[in-house]
Amino acid sequence: MIKAILIFNNHGKPRLSKFYEHYSEDTEQQIIRETFHLVSKRDENVCNFLEGGMLIGGSDYRLIYRHYATLYFVFCVDSSESELGILDLIQVFVETLDKCFENVCELDLIFHVDKVHNILAEMVMGGMVLETNMNEIITQVDSQNKMEKSEQSP
Amino acid sequence: MPAVSKGDGMRGLAVFISDIRNCKSKEAEIKRINKELANIRSKFKGDKALDGYSKKKYVCKLLFIFLLGHDIDFGHMEAVNLLSSNKYTEKQIGYLFISVLVNSNSELIRLINNAIKNDLSSRNPTFMCLALHCIANVGSREMAEAFASEIPRILVAGDTMDSVKQSAALCLLRLYKTSPDLVLMGEWTSRVVHLLNDQHMGVVTAAISLITCLSQKNPDEFKTCVSLAVSRLSRIVSSASTDLQDYTYYFVPAPWLSCKLLRLLQCYPPPEDGAVKGRLVECLETILNKAQEPPKSKKVQHSNAKNAILFEAISLIIHYDSEPNLLVRACNQLGQFLQHRETNLRYLALESMCTLASSEFSHEAVKTHIETVINALKTERDVSVRQRAADLLYAMCDRSNAKQIVAEMLSYLETADYSIREEMVLKVAILAEKYAVDYSWYVDTILNLIRIAGDYVSEEVWYRVIQIVINRDDVQGYAAKTVFEALQAPACHENMVKVGGYILGEFGNLIAGDPRSSPLVQFNLLHSKFHLCSVPTRALLLSAYIKFINLFPETKATIQEVLRCDSQIRNSDVELQQRAVEYLKLSSIASTDVLATVLEEMPPFPERESSILAKLKKKKGPGAVSVPELDDKREAGLSFNQRIGGSIPASPCRCSTPSPSADLLGIRSAAPIGATPTSTGSLLVDVFSEAGPAAPSAAVNDDGFLRFVCKNNGVLFENQLLQIGIKSEYRQNLGRMYLFYGNKTSVQFASFTTTVSCPGELQSHILSLNVQTKPVEPLVEGGAQIQQVLNIECLTDFSEAPLLNIKFRYGGALQNLSLKLPVTINKFFQPTEMTSHDFFQRWKQLSQPQQEAQKIFKANHGMDTEVLKAKLLGLGTALLDDVDPNPENYVCAGVIQTKGQQVGCLLRLEPNGQAQMYRLTLRCSKDSVSMRLCELLAQQF
């Protein structure tokens, strides 16, 4: 199960946080800080997996992350997930964002928090993977956008 | 065209975000946010009805503010209102707000449930998906109650859209995880399993997570999934890379689903049906073969996807542990990965090999990679990979390679990362003990360990070396000689002094024949370290000195001189002073015979599970530590019970009940002058408690708690570090409790925090107790005591006591303690005096069966009348004389005051002196109170 999905930039500013288990607001912020601290001090080209911080549950959980330009994408998962599988899932997520926003950059995430949440919701639900097929995800997002447009036009 | 065009955002939102981003300081940001919050609040409260667009804009702003880490305490109602909108945009933003900001305890759940119910029955797939998402994200019990029966129907209905099926599957999974009792699969089981055959791969992807979880819990009911999973897997594995179209990821057909299918199969033993098994073995072979084919793409995604499947296949092969051929192929494959240029693959290969090492078919094959693994430990740049290498070395260790592996781990320790040193030390200590054929090697290893990484050698490690030396007489002389040599170093670690002091005190005589280590030389050597050591070590050394007086009468005068000097006999530390005084007196008045008896060599320790192993288990979780048991049959020497689940000695963390080995010398009973209180002296106790951050239940003080049912003041808890005293007073439904935290050490406690949590507050909003605390000072100086006041209000009757959690740092180690606070329902008793007639009239009125609780139990303490009376008065009730016709019996009456109501209680206790039994009967106007009082009191007499 995926316990949390976090996106933050190179300075640790959160750009998306989605927790699939309940924590208090305070703990969530601490987890984001702790995770940033753990991930950001690692060199490039080391492995993409590490044990979770104390707050998220320690060594029973694994942080799987990718670093793209200014952003870190971090998935915190339990032992039932395949590490490489999750790594691919991050890639699917990023490629989907890229298609939806056309060359996605940090600013898109900042100004469209709600969209990013929607796209993620087409992929992961309640901590489990709903869909891995990028075209299927984009079709869903497109149809939502159409509905939105049609509601705005009159 | 991109799916989201950049111009269509909300302008107000964009301006606000830009403002925040332009803030020069944190203060400016907070100011801007507060301004915005005030604005939104006034808009929400204003008379003018907001249109959907504005509501959406404000909710988006709140989301953004929340993401920045600010609390949002309003807007929930507006979000709930958005749910019932007919417009998709508004509904969708409402659901988003709720799934991000509303937790499962919210009081709004009922309103949210109504909206969900409407959307689920709307037959609009988009709305249905939104609703299902919301359930899966919040996942509260109330939601499970409302929808657990509805969702399976949606999942298996023929006319449900695929996207809705996917959501329904995961939604059901979430409800099953939170409330398994409410999700009854029965009639749906077979139709759910058949979702594995669904045409739509997305549906299979979602359903397989659900089926895996259900199979883990009910393997028998779901076992038909095995053959379906095998045939689905086989279809995927044998398909060409283009067959599955969109589910082909970088030329690999459906990698995610393949991994999940392989995981599902790991819930079951190998298929019994020969045909199914043959097909599966074929799949696994195909996957292994594909790994050797040239890659279809140079992209890392291609190799990732391919290897994800490969690793899952290997896990399944290891799980089956029955196909030697496949196991060896798996091992060879992993061996290739050990030297792969991708760090991720090296990491995963080391990890998988750890499990492979415990299979008897592949243990030998794994061992052939020892040089590569040692090399990884030395040269990997990434600490998480080095950690895996250390784990694997530990797992592949057996008697044939123990010396090499232990030596490599020791040499690695000198440069190891601080974060993994303690664990490495534990592992070295365990391997050294487990595979020691010759115990001098064991002693050398542990002393090296202390020399190289003394700071990381926990107490368990040096306790253990002493236990082993004491129990094995063939190694005692060697141990004495080696510690003597080790102590020669000008700077040696305090742990070395402890081991040295103990061993020379017991076995110094074995090397005293050599003039270079004559008794006086030994003593001077030990004493030269004395002044640099901490109090517990000095206490241990003093005990070693008195043992010297017995072993070597010629040192008596010198040692008495040392004991007599002011810095010992008037030491400000009570423990040291007491030891000095008692040992001095003992040495001067006792005859040699008495001395020899009192100071006799320590008897062998009872055999028990190595406490080191217990500690490692606690650090890593039980699964992670199993030492390979293949080579376990020890030929020589004592076999220490190391199997997991072996007897773990009760952890004597309270000093009031020292275990027999607690006193260093065992003179407790024999000492002619008073017993020595061992506040710092319990050196040989297997203390597994205290230092663990993650084991609160280990320290919950049940009996400490029960001692306070009939009294209000006393010591609640005590260990070597901390004493907690309690004073409390109650009036009607209010109480005040003073907690006194005493630091028993000479070292400061840092980051001292306490929190009180009332049970029930996590599950529901119905609080039975309201406990107010003020935070305590974060620093507690050595020897100091701090006080904390709790104000308690009893709102309604309760049975669970509040929990006090204490955290602090003691010399770098985080201490974590959870105690039940002795707040029990009887504290809120008001005594009621009444006549015999009134008593029995009321007794009869409370005659419904559930109002009465009764217990018959054996007396735990003496049946002394006065003691009983004191206890019953301490309970808070009035003890009524001349009421019961039988003068032997006791009857009491009282009223429990809670904020909301008063509960009248009558009690009757009938002792039977002959049988040493009691019968206790309670009748209260509220049945839960009868039950609780009965439980509490049955343990008091």
Chain centroid, CA B885 distance in Å: 54
Q: Would the CB atoms of B67 and A113 count as touching at under 8 Å? A: yes
From the number of C-beta atoms within 10 Å of its C-beta (0-12, 13-18, 19+), residue B709 rates as: buried
Residue B608 is predicted with a pLDDT of 64
Query: Which residue in B4, B171, B311 is closest to A126 by CB distance?
Result: B171
Tokens 């749910």: give the residue: B83
Residue of chain A nearest B313, judged by CA positions? A82
pLDDT digits (tens, 9 = 90+) for B261-317: 999 999 999 999 999 999 999 999 999 999 888 888 888 889 999 999 999 999 999
Q: Report the pLDDT averaged over residues B577-585.
A: 90
B87 is in an annotated binding site: no
- For B697, the enclosing helix (H) or strand (E) is none
Average pLDDT, chain B: 82
Q: Does residue B651 register a pLDDT over 50?
A: no
SS3 per residue for B748-775:
CEEEEEEEEECCCCCCCCCCCEEEEECC
- More confident of the two residues B212 and B861: B212
CB-CB neighbours of B865 under 10 Å: 10
Residue of chain B nearest A82, judged by CA positions? B308
Q: Would the CB atoms of A136 and B347 count as touching at under 8 Å? A: no
Contact B214, B207 (CB under 8 A): no
Cβ neighbors of B269 (< 8 A, separation 6 or more) are B320
A 58-77 → B contacts, CB under 8 A = 58-60
Contact B182, B148 (CB under 8 A): yes
CA B852 – CA B831 distance, rounded (Å): 19
Contact B737, B726 (CB under 8 A): yes
Q: Would the CB atoms of A136 and B246 count as touching at under 8 Å? A: yes
Q: Would the CB atoms of B13 and A145 count as touching at under 8 Å? A: no
pLDDT winner (highest mean) among B392-396, B679-683, B915-919: B392-396
pLDDT digits (tens, 9 = 90+) for B456-497: 888 888 888 888 888 888 889 999 999 999 998 888 889 999
Mutation test of the interface with chain A: which of B56, B67, B72, B263, choosing the one with the most A Cβ atoms within 10 A?
Answer: B67
DSSP state of B881: T
**What are the backbone angles phi and psi of residue B492, rounded to the nearest 5°?**
-125, 155
Minimal CA separation from B22 to chain A, in Å:
13
Which residues of chain A does B620 touch, with a Cβ-Cβ cutoff of 8 Å?
59
Query: Which residue in B4, B212, B247 is closest to A100 by CB distance?
Result: B4
Written as six digits, the tokens of B158 are 């023929």
Written as six digits, the tokens of A97 are 């964002």
Indicate the pairing of strand A128-129 with strand B878-880. Answer: unpaired
**A107 interfacial to chain B (CB closer than 8 Å):** no
Residue B865 is predicted with a pLDDT of 81
Q: Does residue B675 register a pLDDT over 90?
A: no
Residue B1 is predicted with a pLDDT of 42
CA B125 – CA B218 distance, rounded (Å): 31
**What are the backbone angles phi and psi of residue A77, rounded to the nearest 5°?**
-130, 160
DSSP state of B714: E
**A99 interfacial to chain B (CB closer than 8 Å):** yes
Give me the residues paired with residue B294 across strands: none
A 14-43 → B contacts, CB under 8 A = 14-18, 20, 22, 25, 29, 32, 42-43
**What are the backbone angles phi and psi of residue B639, rounded to the nearest 5°?**
-105, 110
**A96 interfacial to chain B (CB closer than 8 Å):** no
Q: For chain A, how long is the longest CA-to-CA vector?
A: 54
Q: Would the CB atoms of A87 and B9 count as touching at under 8 Å? A: no
- For A51, the enclosing helix (H) or strand (E) is strand A49-51
Which residues of chain A does B257 touch, with a Cβ-Cβ cutoff of 8 Å?
132
Mutation test of the interface with chain B: which of A22, A23, A130, choosing the one with the most B Cβ atoms within 10 A?
Answer: A130
Q: Would the CB atoms of B103 and A113 count as touching at under 8 Å? A: no
Residue A154 is predicted with a pLDDT of 52
Which residues of chain B does A147 touch, with a Cβ-Cβ cutoff of 8 Å?
88-89, 126
Q: Does residue B607 register a pLDDT over 90?
A: no
**A140 interfacial to chain B (CB closer than 8 Å):** yes
What is the ipTM for the molecules in this complex?
A: 0.93
Could you give the 3-state DSSP secondary structure of residue B161? coil
Q: Does residue B920 register a pLDDT over 50?
A: yes
CA B206 – CA B225 distance, rounded (Å): 15
**A108 interfacial to chain B (CB closer than 8 Å):** yes
Q: Would the CB atoms of A126 and B137 count as touching at under 8 Å? A: yes
pTM score above 0.90: no
CA B656 – CA B719 distance, rounded (Å): 8
Indicate the pairing of strand B734-743 with strand B785-794. Answer: antiparallel
CA-based angle B521:B566:B784, to the nearest 5? Answer: 110
Q: Report the pLDDT averaged over residues A136-141.
A: 91
SS3 per residue for A87-140:
HHHHHHHHHHHHHHHCCCCHHHHHHCHHHHHHHHHHHEECCEECCCCHHHHHHH
Q: Which long-range contacts (CB under 8 A, 24 or more apart) does B358-363 make?
A: B358/B395, B358/B626, B358/B628, B358/B629, B358/B630, B359/B318, B359/B321, B359/B327, B360/B630, B361/B321, B361/B324, B361/B327, B361/B328, B362/B327, B362/B328, B362/B330, B362/B331, B363/B396, B363/B398, B363/B628, B363/B630
B12 is in an annotated binding site: yes
CA-based angle B326:B329:B334, to the nearest 5? Answer: 125
Q: Would the CB atoms of B3 and A145 count as touching at under 8 Å? A: yes
Which residues of chain B does A4 touch, with a Cβ-Cβ cutoff of 8 Å?
none
Residue of chain A nearest B345, judged by CA positions? A47
Size of interface A-B (CB pairs under 8 A): 186
Contact A92, A123 (CB under 8 A): yes
pLDDT digits (tens, 9 = 90+) for B358-368: 887 888 888 89
Minimal CA separation from B760 to chain A, in Å:
16
Chain centroid, CA A5 distance in Å: 4
**Closest to B468 measured CA to CA, from B495, B442, B488:** B442
pLDDT digits (tens, 9 = 90+) for B769-787: 777 777 788 888 888 888 8
pLDDT digits (tens, 9 = 90+) for B179-222: 888 888 778 888 999 999 998 999 999 999 999 999 999 899 99
Within 13 Å of residue B341, how many CA atoms lie on the same side as its CB? 2
CA B794 – CA B768 distance, rounded (Å): 6
- More confident of the two residues B607 and B841: B841
Q: Does residue B253 register a pLDDT over 80?
A: yes
Residue B243 is predicted with a pLDDT of 66
**A153 interfacial to chain B (CB closer than 8 Å):** no
Residue B241 is predicted with a pLDDT of 61
**A114 interfacial to chain B (CB closer than 8 Å):** yes
**Closest to B253 measured CA to CA, from B212, B279, B290:** B290
Lowest mean pLDDT among A11-15, B427-431, B596-600: B596-600
B60 is in an annotated binding site: yes
CA B936 – CA B932 distance, rounded (Å): 6
Written as six digits, the tokens of B465 are 């070396």
Residue B660 is predicted with a pLDDT of 35
CA B208 – CA A128 distance, rounded (Å): 10
Indicate the pairing of strand A2-9 with strand A14-19. Answer: antiparallel
Query: Which residue in B2, B205, B381 is closest to A46 by CB distance?
Result: B381
Residue of chain B nearest A66, judged by CA positions? B344
- More confident of the two residues B926 and B46: B926
Minimal CA separation from A69 to chain B, in Å:
17
Residue B465 is predicted with a pLDDT of 87
**A44 interfacial to chain B (CB closer than 8 Å):** no
pLDDT digits (tens, 9 = 90+) for B809-846: 887 778 888 888 888 888 888 888 888 888 888 888 88
Q: Report the pLDDT averaged over residues A126-135.
A: 91
Query: Which residue in B93, B167, B384 is closest to A125 by CB distance?
Result: B167
Q: How many residues does chain A have?
A: 154
Contact B627, B642 (CB under 8 A): yes
What are the angstrom distances between the C-alpha of B638 and each of B337, B445, B459, B616, B726?
40, 18, 22, 21, 46
From the number of C-beta atoms within 10 Å of its C-beta (0-12, 13-18, 19+), residue B438 rates as: middle
Written as six digits, the tokens of A99 are 């298609």
Residue A126 one-letter amino acid: G
CA B937 – CA B826 distance, rounded (Å): 10
Contact B393, B373 (CB under 8 A): yes
Lowest mean pLDDT among B106-120, B505-519, B643-657: B643-657
**Closest to B262 measured CA to CA, from B304, B317, B305:** B317
Residue of chain B nearest A105, judged by CA positions? B6
**Closest to A141 measured CA to CA, from A113, A122, A114, A117:** A122
Q: Does residue A102 register a pLDDT over 60?
A: yes
Contact A127, A2 (CB under 8 A): yes
CA B177 – CA A126 distance, rounded (Å): 11
Contact B493, B448 (CB under 8 A): no
Cβ neighbors of B713 (< 8 A, separation 6 or more) are B725, B726, B727, B728
pLDDT digits (tens, 9 = 90+) for B171-180: 999 999 988 8
Minimal CA separation from B343 to chain A, in Å:
5
Q: Would the CB atoms of B136 and A129 count as touching at under 8 Å? A: no
Residue B628 is predicted with a pLDDT of 42
Q: Would the CB atoms of B100 and A117 count as touching at under 8 Å? A: yes
- Reported as a pLDDT band with limits 50, 70 and 90, residue B433 is confident
B58 is in an annotated binding site: yes
Contact B359, B340 (CB under 8 A): no
Minimal CA separation from B71 to chain A, in Å:
7
CA B3 – CA A141 distance, rounded (Å): 7
CA B98 – CA B93 distance, rounded (Å): 9
CA B570 – CA B584 distance, rounded (Å): 13
Residue of chain A nearest B258, judged by CA positions? A85
